[in-house]
Structure 1
């Protein structure tokens, strides 16, 4: 799936990217395909949904531990990004945009007691 997404694929009826994080314990690079949504000028939103599971996905913990060591690949290009978890009004605004584009995420939220983390990925100057 990651190979297809590198060429500009989709996941869960949404655009997708390959997220590369650094393992919080191992320091090893980990690749994960995730659905993404436009986050404004040259940024993306992603959701740590784990399809509504009780716990966040493993990539979320890696991203939280190393928010400045994240890379995305989409449509054949790699971009170094900084990950920023959204809270309050910023999260609410992004969440409305995400669930309007892909109602499945609202269903995931209904399946769990945790608030699904919404993360903005912002390109870093290289």
Structure 2
């Protein structure tokens, strides 16, 4: 990740937290949450702003990495954790994360690409199947 993008993400996280999501909680048609993970190797804390989709009482996040051929770093960190914390519009929520598979993934993917067409473009850029995670409040 380049230095300018890292800087922008830090500013985004700061503004999101400071305004409880009034700034940075929605970008265009995209609802944003903050995902907090711990590095599986480094043990460092990370906060990542991500597009999310509501599905019932859960949140679904997309490990697109902009269509890159590898999963984003948070994907591996999230898989290594039993629980994590998300921040949604000023609320701090402990969640369990489950990778969505099979028919459920197909249903959610169709919903996602209708609401957020950029993800269809990301899928076209990569050979990997972009993973989805369901975040369920504990």
TM-score normalised per structure 1: 0.91
Q: Which residue of 2 aligns with 1:118?
A: 132
Q: Which has the larger radius of gyration?
A: 2
Q: Which residue of 2 aligns with 1:28?
A: 44
Contact 1:70–1:80 (8 Å) recurs in 2 = yes
Instruction: Compare the two structures and name the one with the higher helix fraction.
Output: 2
Say yes or no: does 1:43 pair with 2:58: yes
Q: Which residue of 1 aligns with 2:31?
A: 15
Contact 1:17–1:73 (8 Å) recurs in 2 = yes
Deviation at 1:70, TM superposition (A): 1.1
- Taking the aligned partners of 1:11 and 1:60, their CA distance within structure 2 comes to 22
The runs of at least 4 consecutive aligned structure 1 residues that moved more than 2 Å come to 3-8, 10-13
TM-score normalised per structure 2: 0.84
Q: Which residue of 2 aligns with 1:80?
A: 94
Say yes or no: does 1:69 pair with 2:108: no
Q: Which secondary structure state, in structure 1, belongs to the residue aligned with residue 47 of structure 2?
A: strand
Deviation at 1:5, TM superposition (A): 3.2
Offset from partner CA, 1:5-41 (integer Å, 9 cap, x none): 342212463100000011111222210000000021x
Give the aligned CA root-mean-square deviation in angstroms. Answer: 1.2
- Taking the aligned partners of 2:130 and 2:121, their CA distance within structure 1 comes to 11
Query: Size of the alignment, in residue pairs?
Result: 122
Unaligned runs of 5+ in 1: none
If asked which structure has higher relative contact order (CA below 8 Å, sep 6+), I would say 1
- Taking the aligned partners of 2:28 and 2:85, their CA distance within structure 1 comes to 21
